[in-house]
């Protein structure tokens, strides 16, 4: 079965608000995590990654938080924009290269 | 082009027919991955190629599935005797320095009728 899962399949957010997308994983040996964004008709696009020796990493308008104690990570998007509407996947890597993906959260931004 | 290219973008085939899906990775990328994405699901790992090493085929769901990578570049995923449950989007990705920088193609949407 899958080792990575997302708490909610859908998220509706008002434009300008902050978004928080959650993900739980079950493999305590996982040491590397990635968030991908997938727009309709396109392949997944890398957003941000984090290694298990960190608990927070920031990018442009995005922050990833990792809580290894409860095996949980989240993606925060600041000042959500219409272009942020997409499906967001978390993925974990416990082998050298094989990523395991969750089912995804569909984010819809309301104007 | 600069990105990963997959063809065809859409494929409709009859049950029992064979199909071939093609992936042109980014030039110079030594690693190539195939994933399958069913409707509303995450990405399911199928196979991984790295340079001249033997591929990791552990994700292939049945012996009807096979993949090749010729000359360390173009890859072909072949599905024999297609079944309706094979309907999905098949995604290819390539990487030069580990999975963190894997770039995905736009996928091939396969529909088996």
Model confidence pLDDT, tens digit, residues B43-102: 899 999 988 888 999 999 999 999 999 887 999 999 999 999 999 999 999 988 666 678
**Alpha carbon distance B61, A21 (integer Å):** 30
B102 contacts on A by Cβ (under 8 Å): 46, 99
Does residue A37 belong to the interface with chain B, where contact is any CB pair within 8 Å? Answer: no
Check A89 against B98: CB less than 8 A apart. no
pLDDT band of residue A69 (cuts 50, 70, 90) is very high
Q: What is the pLDDT of residue A80?
A: 97
Does residue A93 belong to the interface with chain B, where contact is any CB pair within 8 Å? Answer: yes
B40 contacts on A by Cβ (under 8 Å): 9, 103-104
Instruction: Convert A14-33 to b/e letters by CB count within 10 Å (16 or more is b).
Output: eeeeebebbbbbeeeebebb
Question: How much of chain A exceeds pLDDT 90, in percent?
Answer: 68
Which of A31-40, A47-56, B11-20 ranks highest by mean pLDDT?
B11-20
B106 contacts on A by Cβ (under 8 Å): 41-43
**Alpha carbon distance B12, B7 (integer Å):** 13
**Alpha carbon distance B6, B36 (integer Å):** 13
Contacts of A85 (CB under 8 A, 6+ apart): A39, A107, A108, A109
Mean pLDDT of A49-72: 95
Which class would CATH give A4-110?
Answer: mainly beta
Cβ atoms of B43 and B92 within 8 Å: the answer is: no
B44 contacts on A by Cβ (under 8 Å): 101
The dihedrals phi and psi of B7, each to the nearest 5 degrees, come to -145, 150
Q: Hey, which residues does B35 pair with through a beta bridge?
A: B45, B91
Does residue A33 belong to the interface with chain B, where contact is any CB pair within 8 Å? Answer: no
Candidates B6, B43, B89, partner chain A, best to mutate (most A CBs within 10 A): B43
Domain range list for chain A: 4-110
Domain range list for chain B: 5-95
Check B42 against A89: CB less than 8 A apart. yes
Query: What's the CATH number for B5-95?
Result: 2.60.40.10
Question: Is the model more confident about A28 or about A38?
Answer: A38
The dihedrals phi and psi of B84, each to the nearest 5 degrees, come to -60, -35
Which of A27-31, A48-52, B100-104 ranks highest by mean pLDDT?
A48-52
Q: What is the pLDDT of residue A2?
A: 36
Burial of B47 (0-12, 13-18, 19+ CB in 10 A): buried
The dihedrals phi and psi of B100, each to the nearest 5 degrees, come to -60, -30
Check B43 against A93: CB less than 8 A apart. no
**Alpha carbon distance B61, B44 (integer Å):** 10
Q: Hey, which residues does A50 pair with through a beta bridge?
A: A33
């Amino acid at each position: 079965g899958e080792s990575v899962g997302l708490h909610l399949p859908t998220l509706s957010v008002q434009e300008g608000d902050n978004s928080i997308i959650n993900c739980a994983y079950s493999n305590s040996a996982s040491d590397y995590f990635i968030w991908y964004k997938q727009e309709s008709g396109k392949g997944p696009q890398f957003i941000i990654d984090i290694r298990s020796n960190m608990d927070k990493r920031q990018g442009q308008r995005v922050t990833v938080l990792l809580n290894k104690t409860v095996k949980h990570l989240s993606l925060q998007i600041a000042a959500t924009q219409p272009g942020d509407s997409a499906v967001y996947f978390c993925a974990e890597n416990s082998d050298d290269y094989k990523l395991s993906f969750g089912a995804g959260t569909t984010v819809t931004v309301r104007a | 082009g600069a990105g990963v290219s997959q063809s065809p973008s859409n494929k409709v085939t009859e049950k029992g027919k064979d199909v071939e899906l093609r992936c042109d990775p980014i030039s110079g990328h030594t690693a190539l991955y195939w994933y399958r994405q069913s409707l509303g699901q995450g990405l399911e790992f199928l196979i991984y190629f790295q340079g001249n090493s033997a591929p990791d085929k552990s994700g292939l769901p049945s012996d009807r599935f096979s993949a090749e990578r010729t000359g360390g570049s173009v890859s072909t995923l072949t599905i024999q005797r297609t079944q309706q449950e094979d309907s999905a989007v098949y995604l290819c990705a390539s990487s030069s320095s580990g999975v963190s920088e894997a770039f995905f193609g736009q996928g091939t949407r396969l529909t088996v009728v």
